[in-house]
Structure 1
Amino acid sequence: MTTRRAFGALAAGAALTALVPAGDASAAPRYRRGGLTAADDFRHGLGQWVTELEDGGTVTAARGVLEIDVPGGATVWFRRRLRGPYVVEYTATPVSAGGVNDRVSDLNNFWNAVDVRSPHDIFATTRGGALAEYDHLRTYYVGYGANTNTTTRLRRYVGEAGVRPLVLDYTEPLLTANEPNRVRIVSDGSTVRWLNNGRLVFDYSDPEPYTSGHFAFRTTWSHFRITDFRVWRLFNRP
């Protein structure tokens, strides 16, 4: 898809997007989950994950926690390719306890990601964790901000260097230190939704949707503890 067509698709879809007002969790759409298709209890290491680190740091999975403690960009990919319709769920807590990387910033996700340089194997192309290295993805991306990152954004990457089309850009909600974020991502054909603690943050209707690809946690200079990663089939639509 050309850049012009991509921006046209975004304009058409943006007219159908909505943000639920703060505190109005009852307005979020409800989904009945089907069977569990993937999960990690983070007790057996990083066998289901691939890490890409810009400036080192540590990523571990033990005792029920995926811990990401990094001084620069970090992307942690789930190895299995996901196909919709599905729902991803996890809980992420930004740590602020005096550590060198406890900056509380950037709870981000890629999903339905495909690298246009190796569309059948996202791991066939080497990336080093810097954000610009992901411009060759076709993917959805949410950047949930805090600290010096003062916005929460939904982007729809189109696989072109230097092009990261912005769908929606909000100045809130933002992260709060040491408070858990129960995230739910819905991939249901043209319907793309990202929820946090029951609040519908992004609701986007994509006329040319990405319906399969890889999921990743993404952050930069921060410290997160992630638990309860689950992927469910979407049993029926609201």
Structure 2
Amino acid sequence: MKESKFSLFIILLLLFSCQNSKKEGNEKEVISNQEAEIIFESNFSQPLDLKTWKVEMDSNPQSEVFTEDGKLIMDTEGGVTVWLDLELEGNYEISYKRKVVLDSGRNDRLSDLNQFWAASDPTQIGMFNRSGKFESYDDMHLYYVGFGGNYNSTTRFRKYYLGEKPVLGEFLEAPYLLEANRDYLIKTICKDGKVSFWVDEILFFEYEDPEPLEKGYFGFRSTWSRHEISDLVVRKLQPTI
């Protein structure tokens, strides 16, 4: 009987040690990300610098992109992409806060918290020369997430490559659809050939790409809606040892 109690004590001790070990490991990972080298950051406190940001917007008098109160505002009736003119490569993390505003604005619609990343242009058109219409990007190479697309009925992850854009992941129900006027923390990670997309620290999509897009540009994307974006940080990540 004593031996049985002793064995149980040893098992419980081992389980406790393993749990503590996992917690310490997770804490170290968070600290590591916080201390990663910052490549770029913006609090959007200044007027939009068109040398840093390239705006491709469907021609429409009811659309505008600007900064206000520490936020990048995309208030558009048609399609829009706001590119960061900084080519990213290797391992990196992009994080920012974003809200789809639904109030009394002329373009307010709960839809399309979208983004492009690792984007490059294999054609003669060249980067930052498209109309802002969604179909104008079909011949580019990039990753794309459409969070709450199609009137907030779908959330999809695609890879555009060689004229194809297969759906690599899809959700059709909450909690993977948008909530109006909610501040989301959006995080995108490219590391060791694997890409992942996170919302409020919840993993939405992860893909280990056999032919990863190793470098390219990041852009905020949307259509017919009003978005507020803040606290953009791009960090360089170290490869997994």
Structure 2 Cα separation of the partners of residues 36 and 111 of structure 1? 17
Secondary structure of 1:132's counterpart equals helix
Aligned to 2:37, the other structure's residue is in SS state: strand
Contact persistence 1:189–1:211 (CA under 8 A) = no
Aligned residues, how many?
Answer: 205
- Is 1:107 aligned with 2:113? yes
Question: Which sections of structure 1, spanning at least 5 residues, go unmatched?
Answer: 1-26
TM-score by length of 1: 0.81
Moved over 6 A (4+): none
Q: Secondary structure at the match of 1:122?
A: coil
Give deviations 1:196-234, integer Å, cap 9, x for gaps.
001000011101101210000100100000000010011
Summarize the alignment of residues 72-221 of structure 1 with structure 2, pairs less than 5 Å apart: 72-118=78-124, 122-123=127-128, 126-145=129-148, 148-160=151-163, 163-172=164-173, 173-221=176-224
Q: Partners in 2 of 1:138 and 1:180 — Cα distance?
A: 29
Q: Which residue number corresponds to residue 5 of structure 1?
A: none
**Amino acid aligned to 1:43:** S
Residue-by-residue CA offset, 1:137-172 (whole Å, 9 max, x unaligned): 100000001562411000000142xx3211111113
- When Rg is computed on C-alpha atoms for both structures, the one with the higher figure is 2
Deviation at 1:36, TM superposition (A): 0.5
Distance 1:89 1:182 in 2: 7
- SS for the counterpart of 2:102 is coil
Is the partner of 1:207 in helix, strand or coil? coil
**SS in structure 2 at match of 1:148:** helix
Distance 2:142 2:67 in 1: 25
Instruction: Report which structure shows greater RCO (CA 8 Å, sep ≥6).
Output: 1
Equivalent position of 1:63 in the other structure = 69
Secondary structure of 1:215's match? strand
Matched-pair contact (CA < 8 Å) for 1:104–1:147: no
What stretches of structure 2 of length at least 5 have no aligned partner? 1-25
Greater percentage in helix: 2
Q: In the alignment, is the contact (CA less than 8 A) between 1:139 and 1:158 conserved in 2?
A: yes
